[in-house]
Amino acid sequence: MSKDNSSFLLETEELWRISAGGMELSIGKADGCVNRIVNISGERKVWAAYCGDVTVRDDLLQRTFGRRDLKSVVFEANAERLVIHKQFQGAPWSLRETYSSADDAICWESALTLADGDYRSCAVSWNLPLPQPVFPVHFWAAKDGMPSQISRFAGLSLEYGEVTSGILMPLLSCYRTQDDSGFALAMPFDFKTPRFRFLFGFRELDLRAEFDWLALSPDHTAKTKLLLHGTPGDWRPALGWVYERFTEYFEPRSPQIDSLWGGHVCGEFTVSAQEVRRMVELGIKWYEVHGHFPAYGNYHPEGIPQWKSGHFRTNETMISEAMIHQTIQTLHDAGTAAFLYLQVTGDGDEKLLPPEMEVCRQKDRRGQNWSGWEKTYMMNSDPALPFGKEIDRQIDGITARYPEADGIFLDQPCYNFVDTAHDDGITAIDNQPAYMSGFNYFPHLEHLSRLLHPEKTIIANGPFGVGILKYFDAFMAEGDSWLCEHLQYYGIGAKPLFFLVYEHDDAHIEMMFRKALLYGAGFASYPAAMPSRDLYEKYLPLLEKLYRRRWVFDPDPLRLPLGFQGNIYRSERNTYCISLVRTMSRLAGRISTAGEIGITLPGIEDAKDCILYQPGLGPVGLAFTGKENSISLELPSELVAGLLEITPSGL
């Protein structure tokens, strides 16, 4: 006999059945764990019918507890939620899990409570059973090299909050193409936790969503939170779901950024009118005023009339407030926006900061101070610490001193490290309090945004995670081309990506433009690239069509021929723009064909036209064949790089 508490919750003699957000979970009454996962977003599809788990790792006891260690499980239910209270044999703490409906998702939360006992570090993991065999399962996360398949990895850890090795969103899409079903599993972007990661592999039975480095004591409860949403058998709808749910993270706060798509440089504290004119010829829109400060950690000097650059250490030029005003004016005279360099945590000069700042130096897991940049220490800028108070002073000061500046270029928003010298109240590692330095950004970015937005703009260099992305209007990939692929998912809304290339030879310039075309990105406009001006003239007309583009979230919209990379965007003109870059060449004498491209979108078969734009060539109309919600067309064999623009009917 079953009891229907609501459309969200159904009770039977053996289980609870939870339904929301296109997903259905069965929770066994014997252990309070998921034992069946069904996608109900369309036709009902069983994802897995095996028993999962919720595990707790207690670092003080050096033991992991799970359903096999259960001492008792008690349920409370009403129309809005299912609460599960668990006690484990040999554990001094208790676990409370809550399942609820979050409109478009099932929400799972847990709270680990220690009534009495010693301080400790711990981890809590929600383990969902994987289908067996696992070969058909694809996955996507916000990093380079995606999507992929679980069967390709013996073991994989996708850790949120590490800009070079991790994932940029706490989001995982798992799906099967053959039965068109999948799910998106996400930690809410505003949920504060020290360490979050997805763990799985070819021989693993479960997908683990793990919250680690959690502090647990009688004074502090360890908490977790996840959202589960049903999707078709593709990763793009998962990305569309988080865009709709967390829109403020992907849309700029400053409308000024719309006019800044294009070229940029990392410049110096002074620039001549001649240099700026040359950069304008290469499409520059904004200029980073770098090295204007006397020391890392002091970006707004007071009480001194002149100082030397703390970055360009061999440059003997004396800098003054008047010089920076003149630099901004020179840029403005040429129609170029000026952005002042700033950090809000991280690097602090090893000798030039006041002695009271020494207590703010971070320590690593071996208890040692360390550095991320030459002749500096890594600093903690918690607002309660002297360095944090100093950063607050500098934010107020630099924005007031240079009101004509167009905004701030925020460097190093990628510092998210374990600091064992300080305590943030929720982080613990090796049973000792610690501090995740990424938490430093939130109060200072709130401060900076409050002063600048919406009139002015904040552009950031490689943010470590989407949690701080909401404060930025644009973001940059510095130096390495793979970072464009890695960071591209920050740009699913209206925030532009800028690719900064320091090399100026012709090959690097063309590589830069191909990446800019592929990812709809900005580019570098250094005067030293003037010998390759013809490449700027050839590629800019294509890139300009991608300014203010947005991502397409329809499932599997683009099928590319062998030897090509590309992406599909919706332009500001409401056309579809497909970037195309050839990645494979043939031996001399071989037949070179570009092949067929396919596009699948609602109503696309009624498109008005398909126009191909290639660097340095005129537009060419391409014939296409269409059937319900899809078209296909042949690309010309000589195509190396290009932009295909499709005008839907009705425009």
Q: Span 347-356, mean pLDDT?
A: 96
Residue 239 confidence (pLDDT) above 90: yes
Among 171, 150, 147, smallest CA distance to 235 is for: 147
Give the model confidence (pLDDT) of 79-99 as tens digits. 899 999 999 999 999 999 999
Q: Are residues 60 and 207 in the same domain?
A: yes
Give me the domain span that covers residue 180.
Answer: 3-245
Q: Are residues 231 and 285 in the same domain?
A: no
Backbone angles phi, psi at 131, to 5 degrees: -60, 150
Angstrom distance (rounded) from CA 474 to CA 496: 5
Domain contains 276: yes
> CB–CB of 523/503 below 8 Å?
no
Supply the pLDDT for residue 477: 97
Enumerate the β-bridge partners of residue 615.
Answer: none
Indicate the length of the chain as a whole number. Answer: 651
Q: Are residues 340 and 240 in the same domain?
A: no
Give the model confidence (pLDDT) of 90-134 as tens digits. 999 999 999 999 989 999 999 999 999 999 999 999 999 999 999
Give the model confidence (pLDDT) of 174-197 as tens digits. 999 999 999 999 999 999 999 999
Report CA-CA distances (Å) from 141 to 220, 249, 330, 599: 31, 17, 43, 23
Q: What H or E segment, with its residue span, contains residue 213?
A: strand 206-216
Supply the pLDDT for residue 1: 38
Report CA-CA distances (Å) from 46 to 149, 179, 199, 442: 19, 10, 22, 41
Q: How confident is the model at residue 215 (pLDDT cuts 50, 70, 90)?
A: very high
Angstrom distance (rounded) from CA 434 to CA 96: 25
Residue 2 confidence (pLDDT) above 80: no
- Residue where a domain terminates, one of 192, 211, 245: 245
Q: How confident is the model at residue 586 (pLDDT cuts 50, 70, 90)?
A: confident
- Residue where a domain terminates, one of 548, 566, 591: 548
Supply the pLDDT for residue 587: 85
Angstrom distance (rounded) from CA 563 to CA 197: 33
DSSP string, 91-124: -SEEEEEEEEE-SSSEEEEEEEEESSS--EEEEE
Angstrom distance (rounded) from CA 106 to CA 124: 18
What CATH number corresponds to the domain at position 313?
3.20.20.80
Angstrom distance (rounded) from CA 309 to CA 295: 7
- Residue where a domain terminates, one of 213, 245, 277: 245
Domain contains 561: yes
Residue 403 confidence (pLDDT) above 60: yes
Among 589, 590, 601, smallest CA distance to 648 is for: 601
Supply the pLDDT for residue 79: 86
Q: Are residues 459 and 588 in the same domain?
A: no
Q: Are residues 574 and 456 in the same domain?
A: no
Among 119, 116, 97, smallest CA distance to 226 is for: 97
Domain contains 505: no
Supply the pLDDT for residue 336: 99
Give the model confidence (pLDDT) of 303-349 as tens digits. 999 999 999 999 999 999 999 999 999 999 999 999 999 999 999 99
What CATH number corresponds to the domain at position 37?
2.70.98.60
Residue 76 confidence (pLDDT) above 60: yes
Backbone angles phi, psi at 324, to 5 degrees: -70, -40
| Residue 118: Cβ within 10 Å count | 11
Give the model confidence (pLDDT) of 424-436 as tens digits. 999 999 999 999 9
Q: How confident is the model at residue 589 (pLDDT cuts 50, 70, 90)?
A: confident
Dihedral angle sign, alpha carbons of residues 315, 320, 326, 329: positive
Among 173, 168, 219, 175, smallest CA distance to 196 is for: 168
Q: Are residues 180 and 301 in the same domain?
A: no
Domain contains 255: no
Q: Are residues 228 and 296 in the same domain?
A: no
> CB–CB of 98/25 below 8 Å?
no
Q: Are residues 534 and 605 in the same domain?
A: no
Domain contains 485: no
Q: Are residues 70 and 163 in the same domain?
A: yes
Angle, CA of 257, 262 and 265, to the nearest 5°: 95
Residue 238 confidence (pLDDT) above 60: yes
What CATH number corresponds to the domain at position 562?
2.60.40.1180
Angstrom distance (rounded) from CA 182 to CA 186: 13
Q: Span 230-258, mean pLDDT?
A: 98
> CB–CB of 252/474 below 8 Å?
yes
Q: Are residues 543 and 594 in the same domain?
A: no
Q: How confident is the model at residue 6 (pLDDT cuts 50, 70, 90)?
A: low
Give the model confidence (pLDDT) of 421-480 as tens digits. 999 999 999 999 999 999 999 999 999 999 999 999 999 999 999 999 999 999 999 999
Give the model confidence (pLDDT) of 518-563 as tens digits. 999 999 999 999 999 999 999 999 999 999 999 999 999 999 999 9
Q: Are residues 532 and 563 in the same domain?
A: no
Angstrom distance (rounded) from CA 24 to CA 151: 25
Domain contains 257: no
Give the number of domains in the chain: 3
| Residue 590: Cβ within 10 Å count | 8
The pair of three-digit structure tokens given for residue 218, joined into one six-digit string: 């009688």
Domain contains 336: yes
Angstrom distance (rounded) from CA 335 to CA 286: 9
Q: Are residues 229 and 96 in the same domain?
A: yes
Report CA-CA distances (Å) from 319 to 184, 306, 309, 339: 52, 5, 7, 17
Percent of the chain having pLDDT more than 90? 95
Angstrom distance (rounded) from CA 396 to CA 252: 22
Supply the pLDDT for residue 340: 99
Domain contains 41: yes
